[in-house]
Amino acid sequence: MLFSNMRKSVQRWNQYRTTLNELNQMTDRELSDIGISRWQIKEVAKSAL
């Protein structure tokens, strides 16, 4: 159970970092096209979990 929870936590962290990195690589125009401002990136990445 402990290892299962740890694995899930690591998977969620990796998903958060991947989403965060992908959004940070986008231009302001691309972010605007999908309805996101640059200051919202962390919030959007967290909500993707």
pTM score over 0.85: no
Residue 3 pLDDT level (bands cut at 50, 70, 90): confident
Residue 37 has a pLDDT of: 98
Q: How far is CA 1 from CA 6, 8, 18, 43, 49, in A?
A: 9, 11, 26, 29, 21
Residue 24 has a pLDDT of: 98
Residue 20 has a pLDDT of: 98
| pLDDT tens-digit series, residues 32-47 | 999 999 999 999 999 9
Residue 1 pLDDT level (bands cut at 50, 70, 90): confident
